[in-house]
A = this chain, B = another copy of it.
Amino acid sequence: MKNNNIRHFINTQDWSQPELRKMLRLADRLKQGGWNTSLQGKSIALLFLNPSMRTRTSFELGMQQLGGVAIVLQPGKDAWGIEFNPGTVMDGDAEEHIIEVAGVLSRYCDMISLRCFPGFEDWNYDRTDPVIKALAEHSSVPVVNMETIVHPCQELALMQTLYERLGEVQNKKFVVTWTWHPRPLNTAVANSAALISTKFGMDVTLLCPEPAYILDQQFIEAASDNAKASGGSFQVSHDIESAYSGADGVYAKSWGALPYYGKPEQEWELRKNYRHFIVDEQKMALTNNAVFSHCLPLRRNIKATDAVMDAPYCSAIDEAENRSHSQKAMLLTLMELNK
């Protein structure tokens, strides 16, 4: 039942830049068009192990706008809890194994997508993205990542929006900035923003308060490699002023310091000193009339001020809209490539 030739959409690093650009061009065309029947007779299972508003709505509605059907399942809530590790003697909470979940859903549906945030206990485990890899290993249909330790669907929407706002993006200055938030969050969107902006040739600065907040080395290396291949650049900075200065794009996200992964009280002793990383008008004034965005959800006046969120240069709502168009393009591409 397993099929190692399946193209999944788990990580944009598995896709070439031209392939992704083709998806984005298709997304632009879909944005102009209305509903169609290109996925009639097709279905997708949407597995959510965490909350969602944009991802769920854009996938559930988008699939139907293409003539298909989406089934939303919440394992551990309305569906049975799932075990992801091979060989386990399953005497814990999980009632079934990903082998069966993947096998059964592959029979029912034409695609399976999963949102599963990391567990915030052991980064050495989570950093290998084991859960979605286990799903893909046992699935005989394409698997889509709706956010694990990366968020590739957000990457597509971000790039579609940057092209809309900036025109060409090659060597435009792009700042991915850590922001304040009351607790340590997933690094996925920060990892993804670094990956995709470097892949598309931007000059990227990862701005964070101190070395403890630098992203996992695998993403730092991948971003650097991407930049080398694309003619862009990638650097890490802890200096707000120089990072914002002259930026064409500012992308905000809060995340937890990996050396304190699973130890939120200890992480707080660092975190509490960096409330001033909030995105505000003073910082934005340093930029080259930069576009500002965030993946949402966003806590106002914590991560960014009301003034920034309500400014014309904020493209967060556009980016959320583009989730829908770019995901449709991705689903159509998956169905085409895996025919």
Q: Are A306 and B87 CB-contacts (below 8 A) given A107-B321, A297-B100, A320-B104?
A: yes
Interface presence of A22 (CB below 8 A): no
Count of identical protomers in the assembly: 3
Interface presence of A7 (CB below 8 A): no
Q: How far is the CB of A188 from chain B (nearest CB, A)?
A: 15
Interface-located stretch among A10-18, A65-73, A263-271, A284-292: A65-73
A258-285 interface code vs B (CB 8 A; 1 in, 0 out): 0000000000000000000000000000
Q: Which of A60, A69, A108 has the most CB of B within 10 A?
A: A108
Q: Are A91 and B299 CB-contacts (below 8 A) given A71-B57, A78-B48, A108-B324?
A: yes
Q: Are A64 and B69 in contact (CB under 8 A)?
A: yes
Q: Are A101 and B53 in contact (CB under 8 A)?
A: yes
Q: Of B86, B87, B99, B297, which is within 8 A of A96 by CB?
A: B297
Interface presence of A309 (CB below 8 A): yes
Q: Are A80 and B297 in contact (CB under 8 A)?
A: yes
A314-339 interface code vs B (CB 8 A; 1 in, 0 out): 00110011001000000000000000
Chain B residue numbers with a CB within 8 Å of A238 are none
Chain B residue numbers with a CB within 8 Å of A73 are 53, 56-57
Closest residue to A322 on the B side, CB-wise? B107
Within 8 A of B (CB), among A33-84: 34-35, 40-41, 43, 45, 48, 51-54, 56-58, 60-61, 64-65, 69, 71, 73-75, 77-80, 83
Q: Bound state CA distance, A100 and B297, in angstroms?
A: 8
Which residues of A are at the interface with B, using a C-beta cutoff of 8 A?
1, 34-35, 40-41, 43, 45, 48, 51-54, 56-58, 60-61, 64-65, 69, 71, 73-75, 77-80, 83, 86-91, 94-97, 99-101, 103-105, 107-109, 182, 296-302, 306, 309-310, 316-317, 320-321, 324
Some 20 contacts from A to B, beta carbons below 8 A apart, are A51-B78, A51-B80, A52-B80, A53-B104, A56-B78, A56-B79, A57-B71, A60-B71, A61-B71, A80-B297, A83-B300, A88-B301, A90-B299, A91-B182, A96-B296, A97-B298, A100-B296, A100-B298, A104-B317, A104-B321
